[in-house]
Structure 1
């Protein structure tokens, strides 16, 4: 087994901290920090994941009110030891081309599109951590026979935990965090057209 490169060793006994990622250019793209441990996106992403992420980001651009912006694949510094990088989010902070992360107070909605390697993190670890950080809305997008299904959660302020606000297939129509109407099947329309042609 080959030795790990020097940059992969944590610079302190307690592990990595969120600010370290700003000074770690050797790390692979989309490296996250969960409980002080680096998490690398090592498995290749499927086109399905890319279509859904891009489609949701584009759809939200046409839906968000003034003063909000959709962002994709930018980190949130939840606390000293946690800096995940959601697939898509809606933020209220002023745009800054040099920004490398957002604070939880800047984030209204987080969306994770589940991949085979991210199932546990998206459904359990991030589910808990985003809620504890006070992010009001969390969507988890699952692949159901090639079509996106969105599990919508809202933060219960009394418990600081997410409560289910619905499961949406074909069409996502929801009044919060702002009026949302998204044709979910359209997000993967290229795949559906190719599948019909192959059949």
Structure 2
């Protein structure tokens, strides 16, 4: 019994990297990539389904930082940045110089335009978010980095500042219930809002 080729379910073919790995420009050219694909050391990094904590944390920081950021800065969620030819990561939340926004078809920012990068840690991204990506951000000269983790149902934020002498991040604080810092601009946030149960209006 012959099988009609049209009845055969197509299978997805994962892209095969070229010699030397993918480049930052390839991320815009490769067809059918899953959403939020990143480029790390010339390799494509895919993300797992998003958790509720991850979603709410991104919404929380995007909303509040947007309301607090001074004029001249823009807050953007889940947007890639160019670090070098083989590294184009996608922080969960970014604070950038608004001069870096060139148009509505733009797909990335130069790393030098980024003031703050925030990563919300997922079970599959622990190693990348705790060591690999912060090292990339620090090497690119991004002044501020925050790592957000889910600790037994409550948000914890690890704050880092760039040491220009070592080109590495130094710990600037660990925040549990309340995040209050003066840089990159004055910020005072109730972190409990991230995991608090929503109340319906009567």
Q: TM-score, normalised by structure 1?
A: 0.90
- Please tell me whether Structure 1 or Structure 2 has the larger radius of gyration of its CA atoms: 2
Q: CA deviation at 1:188?
A: 1.9
Q: What residue ranges of structure 2 are gaps of 5+ in the alignment?
A: 1-9
Residue number in structure 2 paired with 1:16 = 22
The reply on whether 1:161 has 2:158 as its aligned counterpart is no
The within-5 A match list for 1:105-184 is: 105-184=112-191
Task: Report the Cα distance in structure 1 between the residues aligned to 2:58 and 2:93, rounded to whole angstroms.
Answer: 7
Task: Report the Cα distance in structure 2 between the residues aligned to 1:68 and 1:131, rounded to whole angstroms.
Answer: 20
The within-5 A match list for 1:22-101 is: 22-41=28-47, 43-94=48-99, 95=101, 96-101=103-108
| Secondary structure of the structure 2 residue equivalent to 1:173 | strand
> Conserved in 2, the CA contact under 8 Å of 1:34 and 1:84?
yes
Task: Report the Cα distance in structure 1 between the residues aligned to 2:194 and 2:11, rounded to whole angstroms.
Answer: 42
> Conserved in 2, the CA contact under 8 Å of 1:171 and 1:183?
yes
> Conserved in 2, the CA contact under 8 Å of 1:56 and 1:187?
no
Runs in 1 of length 4+ with deviation above 6 angstroms?
Answer: none
Give the count of matched residue pairs: 189
Measured on the aligned residues, the alpha-carbon RMSD in Å equals: 1.7
Q: What residue ranges of structure 1 are gaps of 5+ in the alignment?
A: 195-199
| Secondary structure of the structure 2 residue equivalent to 1:186 | helix
